[in-house]
Structures are given as C-alpha cells and as structure tokens.
Amino acid sequence: MLKLAGAALGGAILGPAQALAAGEARITRTIPKSGESVPAVGIGSSQTFDVTSEADRQSVKGVMRVFVDLGGRLVDTSPMYGNAEAVIGEVADQLGLAGRLFLATKVWTSGREEGIAQATESMRRMRTQKLDLIQVHNLLDVDTHLKWLAEWKQAGRVRYIGVTHYQHSSHPALERYVASKQVDFVQLNYSIAEREAENSLLPAAISSRTAVLVNRPFAASGLFQRVRGRPLPAWASEFDATSWAQFFLKYVLAHPAVTCVIPATRDPKHAADNMGAGLGKLPDEATRRRMVELVKSL
C-alpha cells in the first residue's frame, strides 16, 4: 500500500524542503506483516558512514539532519560497515533522534553465541535497548541465526527479522526464505540496471507478504557514470523527477513489492536530492519500460 502526493504548486516543481513546507505528504509504504507505515526512502550506511575524522563525522551529522528533517526514518547498517553503527548512535544522540528512527542492522558472523554477542554489541554501539530490524547479512549461517532471532522477536528485543544479499546470484536462496515465511523483511539488490529481482523474487515477496528493502539502487554508482553529462529527459517531469537520482529511485519505488529503498551518501545535498524521490508521482508501467529503454541505449 502506498500514499502519494503531487509535487507541484502553482505549476512549479518543488524541491523536498519546499514541498514538505507546503504540506506535501511523503510516499510511505506499509510493512505487510504488521501494518506499520514507513517512509519509502530510507538511507544506507555502507562505506559512507564508516568514518573516523571529525570532518567526516560532521558530514554524516549533516546528512542525518537533512534526512530526518525531510521525513526520513529507516536507517540501515551492519557490523560489516566498520564504524557505521557507532557513528549512527553518536549522531542520533547528538541530534536528539531517540525513538524517531527505524534502526535496521545485521548479524554477520557464524555461530549462535557469536551472533547474539554481535547483535548485543550493535545495540550498545547504536545506543538503543531495542532494534527495529535485524537481518542475516549475506545469508551467513542463516539457519542458525534465524532461530535465535525468532526467540529475540518473541521476547521483544527486536521487532522484525530478515535476510539480505547484494548479488542476483543469491536471489534463489533469498526466495526460499521469503517463501518459508520465516522472515518479515528481505533486502536485495535492485535497480533499473539490475532488474533480475523482477523475475521471481519480488513477486514472491508480494505473495508471502514480506517487506522489501532495496540496496544498490544506483548499481553501485554505475548508473551515474552512464548518464554523466546527459540532460534529464523532459518527460521525467511526468512523474516529478527533477534529477537522475530521483529518476533511478522512482523506477525502484514504482514496483509494488518495494517497501523502502536505501541509497547511501555522505553529502547532505545528495541526501536531500534522494529524499525528493519520495515526493510526487511515480512512473506507471509503460513509463518504466520507456525508462529501461533509455538506460539501455546509453
């Protein structure tokens, strides 16, 4: 289920801050197994939030301030991402965001006790007593972890559990866990350049009522390399895209299986641009096909 609002006022296309100030509603999606609503554009933290210098920490703080000011909630991270969890916890504390974020992290180790210890450390680093979502990162020792995660969910230590991968070769394995209905979320790679998930995995998520987080929406920045120096087509205004980033993100968000897309950045301006994809219209199926053909031609 999604909620939409147009992005025009008096015939002018509004930027994210202007649109929200004018009362625009942000696109939200419903988590199928609970009915909880979340903004459809979240933020990832791979590489971008793994920082140590004060200057980079301030950049992350600026990104998080923009993200939340523009209606963002879901923040995805992992112990695999170096200092990212700790930086998120520190910045959230500094900005007074306790209780306002949807905190998603992962378990990335082998063994039950090791997994429990890692998740406990993640909570300490993120300065929270309860996580919204824990995912088994790249399906590492997945059956072991899903057992204790189910116990944690029953005990109220985590609200949702899931599985993740970033390669389309792992889609069949992800689909098996989606079909088993053991998980609330599946995280997968999906973009206008990496559309394999459309074949079977995304339909399976719809059938099993599994929420979908999308990583690699820009194909690891490869899409920007393909459009560098090229103007955005005029017809992108038909679905309220004002940048290539919004063009690519709106393609992903237009699929009915997608709950939230999680682009990563350390640039507050890019964060604001990405959040703009969560406003206005989304392309219909005919337009999505046109978008694919355009990208193929580049």
Q: What is the pLDDT of residues 250-275, one digit of tens each?
A: 999 999 999 999 999 999 999 999 99
Coil, helix or strand at residue 261: strand
**With 70 as the cut, is the pLDDT of residue 125 above it?**
yes
Would you say the pTM of this structure is higher than 0.85?
yes
Structural contact between residues 248 and 217, judged by C-beta atoms closer than 8 angstroms: yes
- Beta strand 28-30 pairing with 37-39: antiparallel
Structural contact between residues 136 and 107, judged by C-beta atoms closer than 8 angstroms: yes
Average pLDDT over every residue of 3-11: 32
C-alpha closest to that of 128 among 106, 149, 102:
102
Superfamily of the domain at 37-297: NADP-dependent oxidoreductase domain (3.20.20.100)
Q: CA dist 233 to 92, 221, 240, 249, Å?
A: 38, 19, 12, 15
Structural contact between residues 7 and 14, judged by C-beta atoms closer than 8 angstroms: yes
Q: What is the pLDDT of residue 221?
A: 83
CA distance 287 to 217: 18
Q: What is the pLDDT of residue 147?
A: 98
Q: What is the pLDDT of residues 134-161, one digit of tens each?
A: 999 999 999 999 999 999 999 999 999 9
Which of the residue ranges 2-6, 118-122, 289-293 would you say has the lowest mean pLDDT?
2-6
Q: Which residue has the higher pLDDT, 12 or 290?
A: 290
What residue ranges in the chain does DSSP mark as E strands? 2-3, 8-9, 12-13, 28-30, 37-39, 74-76, 102-107, 131-136, 158-164, 185-189, 211-215, 260-261
Q: What is the pLDDT of residue 171?
A: 97
Provide the b/e sequence for 15-40 (b: ≥16 CB within 10 Å): bbeebbeeebebbbbebbeeeeebbb
Average pLDDT over every residue of 170-187: 97
| Domain boundary assignment for the chain | 37-297
Q: What is the pLDDT of residue 119?
A: 98
Structural contact between residues 13 and 242, judged by C-beta atoms closer than 8 angstroms: yes
